[in-house]
């Protein structure tokens, strides 16, 4: 995810999703990763290449979160829980009500504790994202046009 954390890609994300929030950018980057290696590297190399992969109407774009994939963030946690048999935590800290799983309040805290212990064990180091200095602004459309001219022409209205 570090490679994809840059202002030009954030501009592309804004143009297709209409949101500048950091969570929206994260979900966009997860969507990008989920598109596969070829598309990912093409867009990382030049954010304007995203326009090649957009085949939807404006109406469809605004009716869905088409360019976001929040669920993709859960794959590592699922794999971790399967590998470490920590899916048993789920059974201990949840209960069923009308066939719906209800998690106890401390489920996430306990899961994160176990995950962080595992990270320490394998020597994983969290890297902080660098501070981004934006040279574009949603309030100044021409600044976005300079970053992603083709995508701007296709998606900005």
CB contact at 8 A, 17 and 24: yes
Name every residue whose Cβ is closer than 8 Å to that of residue 121 and which is 6 or more positions away in sequence. Answer: none
The rounded distance, in Å, linking the Cα atoms of 39 and 50 is 8
The domains of the chain are located at: 7-71+130-155, 76-122
Q: Which of 25, 21, 12, 2 is nearest to 146 (CA)?
A: 12
Name every residue whose Cβ is closer than 8 Å to that of residue 119 and which is 6 or more positions away in sequence. Answer: 126
Q: What digits encode the pLDDT tens for the residues 93-127?
A: 566 777 776 666 666 677 778 878 888 888 887 78
Averaged over 12-29, what is the pLDDT? Answer: 92
Instruction: Note the pLDDT of residue 119.
Output: 83
Q: What digits encode the pLDDT tens for the residues 38-94?
A: 999 999 999 999 999 887 665 555 555 578 888 887 777 777 777 766 655 555 556
């Amino acid at each position: 995810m570090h490679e994809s954390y840059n202002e030009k890609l954030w501009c592309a994300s804004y143009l297709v999703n209409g949101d500048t929030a950091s969570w929206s950018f994260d979900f966009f980057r997860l969507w990008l990763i989920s598109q596969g290696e070829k598309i990912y590297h093409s867009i990382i190399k030049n954010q304007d290449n995203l326009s090649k992969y957009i085949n939807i109407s404006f109406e469809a774009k605004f009716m869905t979160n088409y360019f976001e994939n929040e669920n993709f963030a859960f794959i590592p946690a699922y794999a971790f829980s399967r590998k470490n048999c920590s899916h048993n935590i789920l059974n201990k800290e949840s209960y069923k009500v009308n066939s719906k799983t209800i998690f106890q309040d401390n489920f996430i805290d306990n899961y994160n504790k176990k995950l962080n212990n595992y990270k320490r064990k394998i020597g994983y180091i969290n890297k902080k994202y660098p501070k981004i200095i934006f040279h574009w602004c949603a309030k100044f459309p021409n600044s976005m046009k300079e970053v992603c001219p083709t995508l701007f022409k296709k998606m900005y209205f």
